[in-house]
Chain A
Amino acid sequence: MTAEGPAAPGTAPDTGAAARRRRPAGPVLPEGPVRASANVCQAAGCLSLGSDRVFEALCEQVTARGLTDVVVRRVGCLGLCAAGPLVSVPEQGRVFDYVAAEGPDGPARVLAAISGGPAAPGSPQGGRVVSEDPFFSRQVKVVLERCGAIDPESLEDYTASGGYEALTRAVTEMSPEEVIAEVVVSGLRGRGGAGYPTGLKWRTVAKSSGSDGRFVVCNADEGDPGAFMDRSVLESCPHQVLEGMAIAGYAVRAERGYVYVRAEYPLAVKRLTNAIRQAEREGFLGREIAGTQFNFTIEARIGAGAFVCGEETALIASIEGGRGAPRPRPPYPAMSGLWGAPTLINNVETMANIPAVVSRGGAWLAGIGTERSKGTKVFALAGAVQNTGLIEVPMGLTLRQIVFDIGGGLAGGRRFKAVQTGGPSGGCIPEDMLDMPVDYESLASAGSIMGSGGMIVMDDKTCMVDVAKFFMDFCREESCGKCLPCRAGTEEMFRLLERISRGEATRLHLAQLESLAGMVRATSLCGLGQGAPNPVFSTLRYFRDEYMAHIDDRVCPAGVCPIAVPAVAGPSKAGGDK
């Protein structure tokens, strides 16, 4: 797996020089009341479009104009990554898109709006009105409540917005059992994709015999291609995740926690480690938290580019310093995990829900969402959709509302073909199922999965055989090689898909593909192999006609696949020539 590593040594995608630079002396911090604040997005997307320069230019302008009642802040993800760099002015309920560092689209535009009051509705100069723009107005924020509202590198900002109150309340006023009961009442289910009830998992860990201690692990190894929710949360509000972990530690009586985060996310790693240091310094982590007997420390562990490490037993092997190979379950990590001790593993988004569950109560969260899927879900909306970005919606919203209202429909006036959820273990959902509510059960019944939250919109230029081949290529390269069905099965399925995409397959090959897919699903050791056939199954279920066009007519309807003229039949190079 070394040949095509995700990043060369020392080339970690550090997002912008600003991440390394010392922050410039802050702008004028208003002495009197604040009239307006300009919150400049400093998440990876906007940073790569130069939002650090926008921040500096705004600071200069505010100082030069002597606007002592305007504060300029660096904040986390504002969500609408497609239209960055973004600046929000919460006092006016507006978000300015495509803000430049200079010129008419520069700081002057934002400051003119601040000084001049509300602009004419619909005027692009005046920015987007949050309450009227469906991208913003249809969202419900629990996990992302503080994303884009506070400085991700400031503990003061976090505590000023009520941060760490839930932890303090949990350890001083509640018993561990009461905390777990609240989580059970909330109905929260694992946001990593499988949807296991969080409260039940916590209870199992708490009840397991932990004479050698217990551990809390936060899974931030967001490996699904097309997903960036965990990155955004860690870049925008790392303390919320740490607070959730500390509450979990108290509830299951663990004293040590790990965050396992991808090396591909250098900015998230930096902000996370910074937050851990701050929380230790202020006594929110470490010994005798909030003056009680509760001790809890958190260590960040950096992954090294292996998708399989998102699987919990592989993740444990990796934290222990070894190859990230999964092992059979049971025993589940809740009973025997890190170094054999009971280990609670939850995803970033699950942990980020916890402070709200404690401070507002489990019943409050249970009031959002559907009967069996409570609360909200964060999605990374990407692909052929206009408003690509980070969104949080109540469970039960329909796919159509997400793609067409929030997402603004397809980019470039193209025609919708499918929406892919769940990454390499998920599936493609066709147009006639767009009115399906988004919840764990509905997505599963449609042959996909909730997954961690990647949502890729595909238009009519996308070939579904090619999509299945893409995911199979991913799985065969990321297979750890421990079990045969996954190691060899994904490889064989990839070859069959390649054959179909080149127009060299017969119906017999298709039958082989289907039977192999069933075998790999049934017999693989871990979720990687068990889920790998899903993209094949779901594209066959809804787009079988495309497969048949490749096989019977030797045509790729979308014009993507390199179908060779039968007489030449020269095998084209894999992967490189679409």
Chain B
Amino acid sequence: MASTTLATQSAGARAAPSDDKRWRQVDVRMRRLGYRPDGLIEVLHTTQELFGYLDDEALLYVGESLGVPPSKVYGVATFYSYFSLKPQGQHTCVVCTGTACYINGASGLLAALERDLGVKAGQTTSDGRVSVLKARCLGACSMAPAVVVDGEVRGKVGAPELVSLLEEI
């Protein structure tokens, strides 16, 4: 974010950073929200869904379009744990560490992933294949411990089962 101008221009449509078609979807979202600055979080959600993460270019573009200064955009993007400023692996495994999962062995799952795949929560395997993340609570407490592998919730998982699933994925 270093080389940016702090001058906040008025909100509204502007030229996208590249001719990547995904920017058009971001534009549509901003237009629907009337380029209102309070739509920032919604637009960041859309941008991350499309690009997988939020880079400086995306943060600047969204901020300028909504008339929100880069400092504030960066503040919001780093405040919320759902937003990621770096790219993720091909596959993701979210381990729930809510109370029910915790007392039913979630830390054992994380320990197994660290031992067998060499990644801690928040890291991606060196081959860029699997990112391991922690969730506060997925609300799947009745099936503790729960994980989400590539968007699919799996309940009552054991450590060996999870490791082999991620190795074969």
Does A associate with B in a complex?
yes
Choose among A304, A305, A306 the residue with the greatest number of B CB atoms under 10 Å from its CB.
A304
> Do B99 and A226 touch across chains, with their CB atoms under 8 A apart?
yes
Docked pose: A388 CA to B104 CA in angstroms? 13
> Do B153 and A7 touch across chains, with their CB atoms under 8 A apart?
no
Q: Does A5 sit at the interface, judged by CB under 8 A?
A: yes
> Do B81 and A13 touch across chains, with their CB atoms under 8 A apart?
no
Nearest B residue to A323 via CB reads B79
Q: Does B28 sit at the interface, judged by CB under 8 A?
A: no
A425-468: which have CB < 8 Å to B? Answer: 454, 456, 458, 462, 467
A466-482: which have CB < 8 Å to B? Answer: 467, 470-471, 474, 478, 480
Residues of A within 8 A of B45 (CB): 263, 302, 304
Known: A304-B82, A575-B107. A382 touches B100 (CB 8 A): yes
> Do B81 and A2 touch across chains, with their CB atoms under 8 A apart?
yes
Docked pose: A475 CA to B110 CA in angstroms? 20
Docked pose: A305 CA to B151 CA in angstroms? 16
B110-153: which have CB < 8 Å to A? Answer: 110-111, 114, 120-122, 131, 133-144, 146, 148, 150-153
Docked pose: A456 CA to B84 CA in angstroms? 31
Known: A11-B92, A48-B140. A264 touches B135 (CB 8 A): yes
Residues of A within 8 A of B75 (CB): 322-323
Residues of A within 8 A of B81 (CB): 1-2, 4-6, 304-306
Q: Does A538 sit at the interface, judged by CB under 8 A?
A: no
Q: Does B29 sit at the interface, judged by CB under 8 A?
A: no
> Do A302 and B42 touch across chains, with their CB atoms under 8 A apart?
yes
Residues of A within 8 A of B131 (CB): 8
Q: Does A219 sit at the interface, judged by CB under 8 A?
A: no
Choose among B68, B110, B133 the residue with the greatest number of A CB atoms under 10 Å from its CB.
B133
Docked pose: A527 CA to B78 CA in angstroms? 22
Residues of B within 8 A of A14 (CB): 151-152
Docked pose: A15 CA to B48 CA in angstroms? 20
A572 to chain B, nearest CB (A): 11
Partner-contacting stretch, out of B12-20, B33-41, B158-166: B33-41
Of A4, A223, A381, which is within 8 A of B134 by CB? A4
> Do B136 and A474 touch across chains, with their CB atoms under 8 A apart?
yes
Residues of A within 8 A of B140 (CB): 13, 44-45, 48, 228
> Do A265 and B41 touch across chains, with their CB atoms under 8 A apart?
no
Known: A9-B48, A11-B150. A576 touches B41 (CB 8 A): no
Q: Does B53 sit at the interface, judged by CB under 8 A?
A: yes
The interface bits of chain A over 303-330 (1 if a CB of B lies within 8 angstroms of the residue's CB, else 0) are 1111100000000001111111000000
Choose among A2, A49, A263, A302 the residue with the greatest number of B CB atoms under 10 Å from its CB.
A2
> Do B94 and A456 touch across chains, with their CB atoms under 8 A apart?
no
The interface bits of chain B over 64-76 (1 if a CB of A lies within 8 angstroms of the residue's CB, else 0) are 0000100010011
B31 to chain A, nearest CB (A): 16
> Do A389 and B142 touch across chains, with their CB atoms under 8 A apart?
yes
The interface bits of chain B over 53-68 (1 if a CB of A lies within 8 angstroms of the residue's CB, else 0) are 1000000000000001
B162 to chain A, nearest CB (A): 15
> Do B153 and A48 touch across chains, with their CB atoms under 8 A apart?
yes
Nearest B residue to A463 via CB reads B103
A571 to chain B, nearest CB (A): 16
Task: Place the interface of chain B in its size category.
Answer: 35 or more
Known: A9-B52, A13-B153, A302-B41. A382 touches B82 (CB 8 A): no
Docked pose: A216 CA to B142 CA in angstroms? 32
> Do B141 and A226 touch across chains, with their CB atoms under 8 A apart?
yes
A247-280: which have CB < 8 Å to B? Answer: 263-265
Docked pose: A324 CA to B168 CA in angstroms? 39
Q: Does A423 sit at the interface, judged by CB under 8 A?
A: yes
Task: Place the interface of chain A in its size category.
Answer: 35 or more
Q: Does A301 sit at the interface, judged by CB under 8 A?
A: yes
Residues of A within 8 A of B152 (CB): 13-17, 48
Residues of B within 8 A of A303 (CB): 80, 82
Residues of B within 8 A of A28 (CB): none
Of A15, A49, A226, A302, which is within 8 A of B100 by CB? A226
Known: A6-B136, A576-B120. A324 touches B79 (CB 8 A): yes
Known: A13-B94, A320-B38, A383-B100. A263 touches B138 (CB 8 A): no
Q: Does B23 sit at the interface, judged by CB under 8 A?
A: no
Q: Does A488 sit at the interface, judged by CB under 8 A?
A: no
Known: A304-B80, A322-B72. A8 touches B142 (CB 8 A): no
> Do B133 and A4 touch across chains, with their CB atoms under 8 A apart?
yes
Of B78, B85, B141, B155, which is within 8 A of A380 by CB? B141
Q: Does A153 sit at the interface, judged by CB under 8 A?
A: no
Docked pose: A4 CA to B106 CA in angstroms? 15
A299 to chain B, nearest CB (A): 10
Residues of A within 8 A of B103 (CB): 383-384, 456, 458, 462, 467
Residues of A within 8 A of B38 (CB): 319-321
Q: Does A224 sit at the interface, judged by CB under 8 A?
A: yes
Docked pose: A476 CA to B121 CA in angstroms? 17
Docked pose: A244 CA to B120 CA in angstroms? 44
Of A5, A231, A383, which is within 8 A of B104 by CB? A383
Residues of B within 8 A of A10 (CB): 48-49, 52, 88, 92, 151
**Chain A residues near B (Cβ < 8 Å):** 1-17, 44-45, 47-49, 81-82, 222-228, 231, 263-265, 301-307, 318-324, 380-384, 388-390, 420, 423, 454, 456, 458, 462, 467, 470-471, 474, 478, 480, 575-578
Closest 4 A-B residue pairs measured CB to CB?
Answer: A81-B142, A225-B98, A304-B80, A226-B99
- The 8 sampled A-B contact pairs (Cβ below 8 Å) are A4-B121, A6-B133, A228-B140, A301-B42, A305-B83, A306-B80, A380-B141, A388-B142
With contacts A4-B134, A318-B41, A321-B41 known, what are 7 further pairs, Cβ within 8 A?
A9-B51, A13-B148, A48-B140, A225-B98, A228-B137, A302-B41, A305-B80
